[in-house]
Chain A
Amino acid sequence: MDELTAISRARRLLEKHPSARAPVDIAAIAEAEGFEVKESDKLESGTAGMLLQRGGRKIIVVNKNDHPYRRRFTIAHELAHQILGLPSVHGARVPSDELERHGRRPKEEILCDVFAAECLVPWKLIQQQANNLHFTVETISELSELYEASKPCVASRFAQVSEDLLAYVPVESGTVRHAILSRSLRESGLRITVGIKVPRTSAVYRAMERDEGIAIVDIEGTDWSESGVAGDFSCHEEAFHVGDWDQGFTLLTFEEAPSSSDAVSDRDIHEDDERLSPLTGHLEWGKK
């Protein structure tokens, strides 16, 4: 099974239980699908939840001590195990943080995470927002509250569906753990290398160094990508870092730098024509 199949199964599930607005009531969907959902304070702190089956009964147990958004993701993840027909492989210790640790997790767990993310942040709902809002920490925080899903979950979905040149990059201990690129960014030929140390010029490096929650920089495409085309792009970067966990993520918005011929023609444009409004310091909600 591949990620596209997991996504299409999630979409099929949402079509059966349509939700016109966020947040998706994932517990109600699970119950409508024949699962009982229970919260337990007896699970170890490293266990977010599990799916138990006996005699035709299916119970999803979630860790009562987890954050509510995490509990919602766990319900969707356990639902995925059953719907995708992908049981957990036992005998391994597996980090439970959704999406952040792609490289070190078994394939079936990654696919269940992909399914869960699609359920909680449905394509139909996020697509318009992703194409109308700036890819910033503030936007992601607000959408996280709207969807009742974690920031990493929302940020990865935003990058996946956006038509802009975006990348969502989870970082742990100063190392790039994964990179989710928007389609247009992939098509541009820009690549983000997984496993490298974050660039010293980057916002996420600054956030880590200063132990700041959020850092923002404008840098060159070459700071983040070694691809041959990287020199053609500039990059706006906003990073969110949690010092206690030594984890965070960074949001990269690339823009094609104007070519020299564009620069000449710009000078010919009348001063009042199609220019950006003066900066006021106020961030506009919409960008279109």
Chain B
Amino acid sequence: MDLAGFIERARDKKDLSFRKLERASDLDHAYIWHLAKGSKTSPSETTLEKLSEALSLDERERAILQLLAEQPIDDALFNLMITRRDIAWDELRDVSRVSNRGDRQTTEEGWLKLIEHMRELF
């Protein structure tokens, strides 16, 4: 999942057109369009705040949006971030930033194992 995909997902979920999102966020229509298409990246904190408000994101979704502004997230980990609210955000964020040499986690099971491994190490 990347920033553009997440904005599109949230826009679809709320059934918001670009025009409606523009009005709700007070952001330029073209700028939102470019963010949603991936042709612009690294939005400012203020832009992320406005988007979060306009897309009615909850606390976890806002954290995901912030993280996606820094880096893409593996789809399996993204699903865990959305569905497993019982796992602390810090743990999910920290595993998303792990650097690997060799195979990476690409399944929910793999990411859960890594979270467990981190708990043991720290």
Contacts and interface: CB of A to CB of B under 8 A. Distances in A.
Interface of A: 38, 40, 42, 44, 46-55, 57, 59, 61, 63, 74, 77-78, 81-82, 87-96, 109, 112
A196 B94 CA distance: 42
Interface string B55-99: 000000000000000011111010000000000001000101111
Contacts of A59: 121-122
25 contacts: A40-B117, A46-B103, A47-B102, A47-B103, A49-B100, A49-B102, A51-B99, A52-B121, A53-B98, A54-B118, A54-B122, A61-B117, A74-B101, A78-B99, A81-B99, A82-B99, A87-B99, A88-B99, A88-B100, A90-B77, A90-B96, A91-B106, A94-B102, A94-B104, A96-B101
The bracket for how many chain B residues form the interface is 20 to 34
A94 to B, nearest CB: 7
A109 to B, nearest CB: 8
Contacts of A77: 101
A106 to B, nearest CB: 10
Nearest to A59: B121
A91 B98 contact: no
A57 B122 contact: yes
B41 interface: no
B101 A44 contact: no
Nearest to A109: B101
B68 to A, nearest CB: 12
A88 B100 CA distance: 6
A40 B116 CA distance: 13
Given A50-B100, A91-B104, 11 more contacts: A48-B101, A50-B99, A52-B122, A54-B90, A54-B118, A87-B97, A90-B104, A92-B104, A93-B103, A96-B101, A112-B101
A48 B104 contact: no
B113 to A, nearest CB: 8
Contacts of A48: 101-102
B101 A90 contact: no
B100 A38 contact: no
Contacts of A87: 71, 97, 99
B72 A42 contact: no
Contacts of B96: 90
A91 B72 contact: yes
A55 B100 contact: no
A46 B122 CA distance: 23
Contacts of A82: 99
A57 B118 CA distance: 12
A34 to B, nearest CB: 15
A260 B64 CA distance: 71
B103 A96 contact: yes
Nearest to A77: B101
A47 B100 contact: yes
Contacts of A96: 101-103
Nearest to B95: A52
Contacts of B99: 50-51, 78, 81-82, 87-88
Nearest to B122: A54
